[in-house]
């Protein structure tokens, strides 16, 4: 259906953050310094309203199926070759809720955390634009829409990383992030042009059938397009892998996360990198997933999931080894983010591999369902726990003006509520039951076992156990070490900041104790990812 009043209402979660950014940008210059806190409240309000409409959209998609919205009447443009549109299914709404949820809490947290900064109207406008871009990316139904909103998201994140531009570290980190991401974006655009050239469409849901049709009359390896299709697979992995922080494409992340304001570190780690992993999942399954079912194409695509799985394993190992050596609390958490990207991508790859080659075909759907459900559930798990950890690290920095773990020794003793939240979030990421992180990791590992990837399963378990070392090390330094002189100034933060981390901690505990509903939601999102729509 073309965009009318009803469709504009359905798209409120997409356009409302942009409207909010415009309003905050316009009124921000007119508000006196004392009223700057109101900008954070207004930003949180826009996120809250977007969340309400996303929940309504959630139930509409659940009851009526996916929603397709064209920019103009469908007949005015051939839908299979290039008409631009939005496609909203359960996976779309699931991801958008995660984005807006964290944006809401970061807005509230930043009211006090950013109170001594200037240009706050720019900060909140960029935060809203960032989330609006991410929501647009997951709603996009064609490459043109996806790329435009991808760049909106990316440019906002570059500026937010370098927000404190008067300091050398944020500026350097922002430029490094910009340059590496620009390479990724260029590769995405180049890959998009190749796919359009060989398929004649930018429709994300028509490219897969077009690729399948190209090879169906002949053996795939005899086609002159064979090499180009292989290149598009590499292009998508590298292009989106930069943003997803898949090692070795993650070199920007340990610099960007510590340099950014802590609320933005939480956004980058908790949700921004997830847009890259989402794109890899959605596009690979759409473009190449059906090829696994055809005899002539099997040779091409049999091992792409396996290759990506070993990139995921390398990401796990690299992130863990680097995290173990860090003394900067935010750099340690940044490397921990890379580790968790490894888990998520590995779960995706179980859905990408033709498992029926080495396990009974009857077991394949169970392996795929468990692994993909675990990966999508881990996105929520990681958003809550890592978001909370970065916000808490911001509290340490806000009060003690240091990120050095040696100087933070014993600070947790004077901050009992903050330290309790930190401990719960860290243990959740370590996979300790009955916290939310245990279930997401368990589902990924169980899917790997059912799928017959036994060596990978052993590595996953070992890496999960390995990560416990540096989480416990942080807790030991912050609580059980002899307090440093700097720790004397530590105390639980302003109630507004405390409210945010306590609520997120309650979610970590509550979902861990009662996981059934949320696991069912992740399973429905996984089913949406595996369902090829007919547009």
Contact of 91 with 525, CB cutoff 8 Å? yes
Question: Is 31 within 8 Å of 38 (Cβ atoms)?
Answer: yes
* Cα separation, 334 vs 273, whole angstroms: 11
Residue 296 belongs to a domain: no
| The predicted structure's pLDDT at residue 76 | 47
Q: Residue 248, preceding bond cis, omega within 30 degrees?
A: yes
Question: Per the domain annotation, does 137 fall within a domain?
Answer: no
Q: What DSSP state is assigned to residue 482?
A: P
Domain count, the chain: 1
Residue 203's φ and ψ, nearest 5 degrees, are: -70, 115
For the segment 421-467, what is each residue's pLDDT rounded down to a tens digit? 999 999 999 999 999 999 999 999 999 898 888 888 999 999 999 99
Q: Which residues are CB-contacts of 181 (< 8 A; sequence separation ≥ 6)?
A: 154, 158, 242, 243, 252
Give the residue among 376, 510, 381, 509 at the shortest CA–CA distance from 444.
376
| CB proximity list for 78: less than 8 A, separation 6 or greater | none
Express each pLDDT in 91-137 by its tens digit.
999 999 999 999 999 999 999 988 887 788 889 999 999 999 999 99
Q: Residue 411: how many CB atoms within 10 A of its CB? A: 28
Q: Helices marked H in 401-453 — which ranges?
A: 416-430, 436-450
Residue 348 lies in a domain: yes
Q: How far apart are CA 200 and CA 534, in angstroms?
A: 17
State the pLDDT at residue 276.
92
Indicate whether 287 belongs to any domain.
Answer: no
Cα separation, 127 vs 124, in Å, equals 5
Q: How far apart are CA 518 and CA 505, in angstroms?
A: 16
**Which domain covers residue 336, as residue numbers?**
302-535
The residue written with tokens 């508000």 in the block is 31
Buried b (16+ CB within 10 A) or exposed e, 314-331: ebbbbbbebbeebebbbb
Q: What is the per-residue pLDDT for 293?
A: 45
How far is C-alpha 87 from the chain's CA centre? 19
The whole-angstrom separation of Cα 429 and Cα 137 is: 27
Q: Is residue 456 part of a domain?
A: yes
Phi/psi of residue 86, each to 5°? -110, 140
Q: Is residue 532 part of a domain?
A: yes
- Does residue 448 fall inside a structural domain? yes
- pTM of the shown model: 0.93
> Mind listing the pLDDT tens digit of every residue in the chain (535 residues)?
556 677 778 889 999 999 999 999 888 777 766 667 788 899 999 999 999 999 999 999 988 888 888 876 654 445 555 566 889 999 999 999 999 999 999 999 999 988 887 788 889 999 999 999 999 999 998 898 999 999 999 999 999 998 887 777 888 888 888 999 999 999 999 999 999 888 888 888 888 888 877 776 655 556 677 778 888 888 888 999 999 989 888 888 888 888 889 899 999 888 899 999 999 999 888 887 655 445 455 555 556 777 888 899 999 999 999 999 899 999 999 999 999 999 999 999 888 876 655 566 566 678 888 999 999 999 999 999 999 999 999 999 888 888 889 899 988 888 999 999 999 999 999 999 999 999 999 999 999 898 888 888 999 999 999 999 999 999 999 988 888 888 887 888 889 999 999 999 999 999 999 999 999 999 999 999 888 776 6
- What does the chain come to in residues? 535
The Cα–Cα gap between 66 and 54 comes to 14
Alpha carbon distance 96, 139 (integer Å): 9
pLDDT of residue 202: 87
Taking phi first (over 0 means left), then psi (-120 to 50 degrees means alpha), and beta for anything else, what does residue 495 get?
Answer: alpha
Of 78, 85, 80, the residue nearest 2 (C-alpha)? 85
**Residue 318: in which H helix or E strand, if any?**
helix 304-324
Interior CA angle at 461 toward 460 and 467, to 5°?
Answer: 90
Does residue 338 sit within a domain? yes
Q: What is the pLDDT of residue 535?
A: 62
CA 339 to centroid of chain Cα atoms:
13
């Amino acid at each position: 259906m073309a965009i009318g009043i009803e469709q504009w209402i359905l798209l409120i979660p997409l356009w409302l953050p942009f409207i909010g950014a415009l309003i905050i940008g316009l009124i921000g210059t007119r508000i006196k310094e004392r009223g700057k806190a109101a900008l954070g409240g207004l930003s949180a309000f826009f996120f809250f309203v977007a969340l309400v409409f996303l929940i309504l959209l959630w139930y509409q998609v659940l009851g009526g199926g996916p929603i397709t919205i064209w920019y103009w009447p469908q007949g005015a443009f051939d839908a299979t070759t290039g008409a631009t549109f939005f496609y909203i299914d359960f996976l779309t709404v699931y991801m958008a809720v995660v984005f807006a949820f964290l944006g809401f809490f970061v807005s509230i947290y930043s009211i006090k955390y950013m109170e001594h900064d200037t240009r706050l109207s720019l900060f909140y406008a960029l935060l809203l634009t960032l989330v609006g871009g991410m929501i647009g990316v997951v709603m996009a139904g064609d490459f043109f829409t996806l790329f435009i909103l991808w760049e909106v998201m990316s440019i906002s994140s570059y500026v937010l990383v370098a927000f404190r531009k008067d300091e050398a570290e944020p500026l350097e980190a922002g430029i490094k992030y910009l340059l590496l991401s620009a390479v990724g974006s260029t590769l995405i655009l180049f890959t998009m042009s190749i796919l359009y050239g060989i398929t004649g469409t930018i429709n994300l849901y028509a490219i897969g059938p077009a690729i399948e049709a190209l090879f169906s009359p002949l053996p795939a390896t005899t086609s002159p397009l064979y090499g180009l299709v292989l290149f598009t697979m590499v292009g998508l992995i590298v292009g989106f892998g930069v943003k997803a922080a898949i090692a070795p494409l993650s070199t920007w992340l340990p610099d960007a996360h510590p340099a950014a304001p802590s609320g933005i570190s939480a956004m980058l780690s908790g949700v921004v990198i997830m847009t890259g992993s989402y794109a890899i999942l959605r596009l690979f399954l759409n473009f190449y997933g059906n090829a696994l079912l055809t005899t002539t194409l099997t040779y091409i695509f049999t091992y792409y999931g396996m290759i990506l799985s070993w990139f995921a394993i390398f990401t796990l190992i690299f992130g863990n080894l680097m995290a173990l050596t860090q003394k900067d609390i935010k750099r340690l958490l940044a490397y921990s983010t890379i580790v968790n990207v490894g888990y998520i991508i590995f779960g995706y790859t179980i859905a990408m591999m033709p498992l029926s080659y080495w396990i009974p075909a009857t077991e394949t759907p169970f392996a795929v369902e468990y692994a993909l459900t675990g990966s999508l559930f881990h996105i929520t798990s990681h958003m809550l726990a890592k978001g909370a950890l970065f916000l808490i690290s911001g509290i340490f920095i806000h009060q003690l003006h240091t990120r050095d773990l040696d100087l933070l020794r014993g600070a947790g003793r004077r901050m009992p509520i903050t330290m309790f939240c930190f401990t719960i979030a860290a243990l959740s990421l370590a996979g300790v039951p009955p916290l939310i992180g245990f279930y997401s990791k368990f589902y990924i590992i169980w899917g790997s076992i059912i799928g017959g990837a036994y060596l990978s399963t052993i590595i996953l378990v070992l890496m999960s156990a390995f990560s416990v070392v540096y989480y416990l090390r942080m807790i030991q330094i912050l609580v059980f070490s002899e307090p440093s002189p700097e720790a004397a100034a530590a105390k639980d933060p302003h109630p507004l900041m405390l409210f945010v981390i306590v609520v997120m901690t309650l979610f970590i505990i509550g979902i861990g104790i009662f996981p059934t509903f949320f696991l069912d939601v992740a399973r429905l999102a996984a089913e949406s990812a595996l369902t090829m729509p007919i547009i």
